Amino acid sequence: TLTGCGSKEEYLVVGTNAEFPPFEYIGGATGDEVLGFDIDLAKQIAADQGKTLKVENMKFDSLIVALNAGKVDMVAAGMTITPERKASVDFSQPYYEATQVVITPVTNVSINSVDDVKGKHIAVQLGSTGDIMAKELSDNVTAFNTGFEAIMELKNGKVDMVLFDSEPAAKHLAKNPQLKMQKLNFDAEYYGLAVAKNNPELLKQINASIDTMKQNGSFDALLAKHMQ
């Protein structure tokens, strides 16, 4: 029988944590859409393969597990390429340069260098590069599922500072004039899209899509659309 055959829609399933504006966040007319730079990038990658993008929103800490369990095809989550993560997944070419920033109340004058961060009570997002870096600098680190919760903790006066990626930090600060962020001397980080190690074909397609987007100007257009 022909029933069920033929026009089956093919999906590219992307895993993300939509708490990381402007890369991924919840919004749109209905207030329940996942939007952002990474989502637009992933949509184009899906389109280049003749597929429809399907977004799975989950905890940041669960993304690599979901990828390796085959629950998602790709992770697009402002995820920094690190040697530790490269041991379990493959990354696309880097698509964005970021850095950690220190968020404190504007009244704080005691944190002005990476050295000043040592031993401070730091709030971070669980499993993030900020989390890893904070634990190298202090024994007093509290990790939350989202950067938003880490910033709430700071606003409530429960921690000295938050260590978070520069772009989402700037987005959060725009709504919190009592807070400031400082780019101390932290190393640059590079975001990559992640795929399972058994999927080199998809990795090749992703890199080809990024190359094309960089050549035809649509990558820059996406940056202009989403970055401040």
Which amino acid is located at 131 in the chain?
D
Task: Kindly determine how many residues on this chain lie close enough to bind ligand GLN according to the rule CB under 6 A.
Answer: 12
Among 75, 164, 159, smallest CA distance to 126 is for 164
Among 78, 124, 133, 210, binds ligand GLN (CB under 6 A): 78
* Cα–Cα dist 80/73, whole Å: 18
Residue 152: which residues within 8 A CB-CB, separation 6 or more? none
Q: Which amino acid is at 166?
A: S
Q: Going residue by residue from 120 to 159, which x/- string records binding to ligand GLN, judged by CB under 6 A?
A: -----x--xx------------------------------
- Nearest to 85, CA basis, from 63, 109, 70, 52: 63
Q: Of the two residues 22 and 107, which places its CB atom closer to ligand GLN in the complex?
A: 22
Q: Tokens 């938050």 label which residue?
A: 162
Contact partners, residue 115, CB within 8 Å, separation at least 6:
none
Query: What is the C-alpha to C-alpha distance for residues 29 and 14, in angstroms, rounded to an integer?
Result: 22
CB nearer ligand GLN, residue 49 or residue 82: 82
Q: Which of 40, 73, 165, 167 forms a contact with ligand GLN (CB under 6 A)?
A: 165
Q: Kindly identify the residues of this chain, within the stretch 15-74, that bind ligand GLN according to CB under 6 A.
A: 17, 20, 60
Site for ligand GLN contains 80 (CB under 6 A): yes
Specify the residue, 51 or 171, whose C-beta has the smaller distance to ligand GLN: 171
Q: Which two tokens stand for residue 54?
A: 């399907």
Q: Which is nearer to ligand GLN, 6 or 127 (CB)?
A: 127
Burial class (CB in 10 A: 0-12, 13-18, 19+), 201: exposed
Measured distance CA(222)–CA(190) in Å, rounded: 17
Residue 92 touches ligand GLN, criterion: CB under 6 A: no
Minimum distance of ligand GLN from residue 39's CB (angstroms): 13
Among 34, 79, 101, 154, binds ligand GLN (CB under 6 A): 79
Q: Among the candidate windows 46-54, 78-86, 89-97, 108-116, which touches ligand GLN by CB under 6 A?
A: 78-86
CB of 194 to ligand GLN, least distance (A): 10
In the complex, which residues of this chain contact ligand GLN (CB under 6 A)? Answer: 17, 20, 60, 77-80, 125, 128-129, 165, 189
